[in-house]
Amino acid sequence: MTNQTGAAGAERPIGIFDSGVGGLTVLRTVRERLPHEHWLYLGDTARLPYGTKGPETVSRYAVQAASHLVERGIKMLVIACNTASAVAMPTLTKEFAPLPVIGVVEAGAEAAVSASRSGHIAVLATESTVSGGAYERAIKARRADARVFSQACSLFVALAEEGWSKGPLVEAVAREYLQPLLAEKKRDGLDCLVLGCTHFPLLKETIAHVAGPEVTLVDSSETVALAVEKILRKSKLARTAGHGDTGFLATDGAERFARVGSLFLGEAITVQDVELVDL
Ligand code: DGL
């Protein structure tokens, strides 16, 4: 199935998964760039958050989510969740070979290295992503002299889920998290900040305001879209005409998925659009 090329292969959807609705920010960008493709999005809402869990648990969840999508005949897998990408990318690539697997961490590192002149880069992410050090490794693999500062920003996830992206409370939280990085900016010329979590693009405006104009914010979803496009072209699996469909799967709470998910996707999702699945 995964080796299928040509028209039949191209008709299959691209699978994309996240721990919840956050990955819809990634889906939004990739869909805009690749409007002909069909998408199948899975949010593991029953087990969210991944960002506070240990690597074995996150890996197990990621393999289960990916297996479900593979069983439905996807032609490629996008790991939209930074935590799952950081922890389980090698496992998923090996487990599902030859299915192409693209993770947001590699894409984010690529984008950060292109955006930074000084090579002093900050990564904002969940606790698990930060403690595993995957961003730091991925950035240094591309630029050996890079200096990477990582900051766990768990509260940003909750704020985005509440739909709070601006205002004094969000700004105060952002200042608190960014304070050590801003000191680094003055001292060492930190010039790039990676939004290393699915939820953070929603707070982009506030984070940019607090970080200041000389710091470039990197949202990896554009780079993910480019990587998907490149692989589709190379493997002759691109769907080249017609408007693509999107299917939504969730492991719990169809109503919440539709309500909060609409915010993240920037487009209405109805409860009827969401299919509940058991992994
Ligand atoms: N999707 C997660 C990430 O990008 C954030 C939410 C969670 O902790 O599950 O890291």
Across 100-126, average pLDDT? 95
Q: Is 106-220 the same fold as 6-103+222-276? A: yes
Q: What is the pLDDT of residues 114-131, one digit of tens each?
A: 999 999 999 999 999 999
* Residue range 6-103+222-276, CATH number: 3.40.50.1860
49 lines ligand 1 (CB under 6 A): yes
196 lines ligand 1 (CB under 6 A): no
Question: Which pLDDT score is estimated for 122?
Answer: 96
Q: What is the pLDDT of residues 215-255, one digit of tens each?
A: 999 998 888 999 999 999 999 999 999 999 999 999 999 99
Residue 190 vs residues 119, 172, 244: alpha-carbon distances, Å: 8, 21, 40
Question: Which pLDDT score is estimated for 141?
Answer: 97
Give the Å distance between the CA of 196 and the centre of ligand 1: 9
Nearest alpha carbon, ligand 1 atom 6: 49
Across 253-271, average pLDDT? 95
Domain ranges of the chain: 6-103+222-276, 106-220
CATH class of 106-220: alpha beta
The DSSP line for 205-266 is: HHHHHHH-TTSEEE-THHHHHHHHHHHHHHTT----SSPPPEEEEESS-HHHHHHHHHHHHT
How far is Cα 241 from Cα 246, in angstroms, rounded to an integer? 15
Nearest alpha carbon, ligand 1 atom 8: 51
